[in-house]
A = this chain, B = another copy of it.
Amino acid sequence: MKKIITEVSARHLHLSQKDLEILFGKNYTLRKKADLSQTGHFAAQETVILLNKKKSLTARIIGPTRANTQVELSMTDCKFLDIKPVLKLSGDIKNSGSIILVGPKGKIRLNSGVIVAKRHLHLASLDAKKWQIKNNQKVSVQVKSERELVFKNIIVRVGEGQTRLHLDTDEANAAGLKNGDIVYLDI
């Protein structure tokens, strides 16, 4: 069994440049707070308010900007905000949820783009080669914490970043895992 490092994704959002400028002003550029394990990605200093009916939560922006705005929530967040949770792979925002984004300079009603992200394994291309695992393959991961379980049906994303299992906060809490904990790839 191969050891894998877990990363726990708290609620966050990706913004298109157009939406960034509506929320933060013309020609606005995100300021980096910290690099993430996937090459080029970073947690920005900026946050946005997510608003539905009278409930709101704050979410950090992950940079750089991308083609489509996407908000990633846990099921717990969805229940709190009274939004129907739609489980999707990141990038697949068709028929996903809607919400209002509020920034210091403006707000946006997002008709689509709110998802609960499916857990996934970012696999460094060297590890993919060594372990003979292909992009989009499904794998299982064993968790040996005091809340022992096996996550099945995890999609693999082969790329240039580091090998990391990405879970949301509900999954990490349910499995008794925190950021940086080791899990075991079932191969």
Chain A interface residues toward B at CB < 8 A: 74-76, 79, 87, 118-119, 146-153, 168-171, 173-176
Contacts and interface: CB of A to CB of B under 8 A. Distances in A.
B176 A87 contact: yes
Interface SS majority for chain A:
mixed
Given A169-B76, A170-B174, A149 B151 contact: yes
A171 B146 CA distance: 13
A148 B74 CA distance: 16
A150 B152 contact: yes
Those 9 A-B pairs whose CB atoms lie nearest each other, nearest first = A174-B174, A75-B173, A170-B173, A150-B150, A171-B174, A148-B152, A148-B153, A170-B174, A149-B151
Contact of A170 (B76, B87, B119, B150): B76
15 contacts: A74-B173, A75-B173, A75-B174, A76-B173, A79-B173, A87-B146, A87-B176, A118-B147, A148-B153, A149-B151, A149-B152, A150-B152, A171-B174, A174-B174, A174-B175
A87 B176 CA distance: 9
A121 to B, nearest CB: 14
A54 to B, nearest CB: 17
Contacts of A148: 152-153
Contacts of A74: 173
A47 to B, nearest CB: 18
A175 B119 CA distance: 11
A147 to B, nearest CB: 7
